[in-house]
Amino acid sequence: MKLIETPIPDLFIVEPKVFEDSRGYFLESYSKKLFAENGIDSYFVQDNESKSTKGVLRGLHYQLAPYAQTKLIRVIHGRILDVVVDIRKGSPTFGKHFALELSGDNKQQLFIPKGFAHGFSVLSDYVIVNYKCDALYYPNSERGLLFNDPDLSIDWRIDLEQAIISAKDKVNPPLSKADINFIYGQR
């Protein structure tokens, strides 16, 4: 397994080593030791799983500090475009987004530290997404960014006119009006 830096500080692609043979495959999907060796001290307390159909768009979600969540996103089956937005005040990449196609085939994962809004669009007929969190869900701290905020210019790679989006996600504020309390460099 290796961690690959992205253009956004502290955000990593996790690429597992996959051992395949006639029986199938084996991979290590998480290693606390590897993360610690790379200065990542997250302690995951919960695993979540979702199933979604083609055209679903979820996000962009986050929880305010002190209930913020670090996440490790992985696709078990299907394909998504995973998108994160840096919402850490003072970050050199504040307001910038990063997108990566995650799939059951490429087996890549995305490590998302606190201070990022997260969402994904479903590119396959259906998808099963698994993600680890280092904090529990805290409804009073839940926030979101508008998925089609023109200042973010995110290409979700789906038809947004036909996208399946929750009522809650349709009314999230743009980044310029969002409630955020993350400071770059603070963990």
Domain containing 165: what range? 2-183
Nearest to 131 by CA among 9, 56, 28, 29: 29
Active-site annotation holds for 97: no
Q: What is d(CA 174, CA 85) in angstroms, rounded to the nearest whole number?
A: 12
CATH number of residue 104's parent domain:
2.60.120.10
Q: What is d(CA 87, CA 62) in angstroms, rounded to the nearest whole number?
A: 10
Nearest to 118 by CA among 105, 131, 127, 128: 131
- Catalytic member of 30, 61, 77, 118: 61
pLDDT in tens, 104-127: 999 999 999 999 999 999 999 999
Can you give the pLDDT at residue 39? 86
pLDDT in tens, 59-110: 999 999 999 999 999 999 999 999 999 999 999 999 999 999 999 999 999 9
Counting the structural domains of the chain, the total is 1
Paired sense of beta strands 182-183 and 88-89, if any: parallel
Structure-block tokens of residue 146: 């508008």
pLDDT in tens, 17-31: 999 999 999 999 999
- Catalytic member of 62, 97, 118, 131: 131
Q: What is d(CA 141, CA 12) in angstroms, rounded to the nearest whole number?
A: 25
DSSP assigned state of 72: E
* pTM more than 0.85: yes
pLDDT in tens, 5-17: 999 999 999 999 9
Active-site annotation holds for 62: no
pLDDT of residue 187 exceeding 80:
no
**Strand, coil or helix: 165:** coil
